[in-house]
Amino acid sequence: MRNEVQFEVYGDYALFTDPLTKIGGEKLSYSVPTYQALKGILESIYWKPTIMYIIDEVRVMNPIQMESKGVRPLKYNTGENDLANYTYLRNVRYQVRAHFIFNPHRPDLAHDRIEGKHYSILQRSLKAGGRRDIYLGTRECQGYVEPCEFGSGEGYYDDDDRVHYLGTMVHGFNYPDETGEDELSVRLWSVEMVRGYIKFPRPKECKIVRPIRKMQAKRFHEGNVQSVDQLYLDLGLD
């Protein structure tokens, strides 16, 4: 099945926010991107509800460095500016290996399960830098993507045989349209990095799952989905 994608994503700054630091308004980035953040980057390159992305592994290419900045975010209750310190990752570069599968919880889109079509569009979108803007965790951290051969080139941690234990981090979210359950929940896991490589467990393999709230998946039907072929006919294009 032609469903694998390998790409490099990089930028000057990244903020993969540790949710524990959001309470007081002082944001602190995780030391590496989360599974959900990489999945979001891939969905910005190309996404349709017919497919689900699985992130297999990430390779950290540059040394993990952090930098604090004074910012003036808006207060939620008043709309006035506040003062805070955000701690970002600086000069980041990652190689990502992932693949897509057809979403089994979308029987309403079974007609769109055309492997070659999605693979071709994904590759073209990646070469073009993505269909939507790429953000490294937050909107102020612009990112850039390009195709690569996963594992190629020199990485900062290539010769480091130590196991880096990075603690318990958010893995990702369980959305109703990807689980078949009417609930939004969050997954957590203990991260280990060896020679810059981090292998992600599949979402179902995460043992720490916490419910957030009840939620239902959006349903697609003829009333809210438009065929591209029909659109071309309506516009008089062949």
> Any idea which of 81-85, 111-115, 178-182, 231-235 has the lowest mean pLDDT?
231-235
Render pLDDT for 86-121 as a digit per residue (tens, 0 to 9). 899 999 999 999 999 999 988 888 888 999 999 999
Burial of 68 (0-12, 13-18, 19+ CB in 10 A): exposed
For the four alpha carbons of 36, 38, 41 and 46, in that order, the dihedral sign comes to negative
Q: For 4-234, which CATH class?
A: alpha beta
Domain residue ranges of the chain, discontinuous segments joined by +: 4-234
d(CA 89, CA 31): 7
> Of all helices (H) and strands (E), which one includes residue 124?
helix 115-127
Residue 18 pLDDT exceeds 80: yes
Report the pLDDT averaged over residues 172-179.
Answer: 90
pLDDT digits (tens, 9 = 90+) for 195-225: 999 999 999 999 999 999 998 887 766 666 6
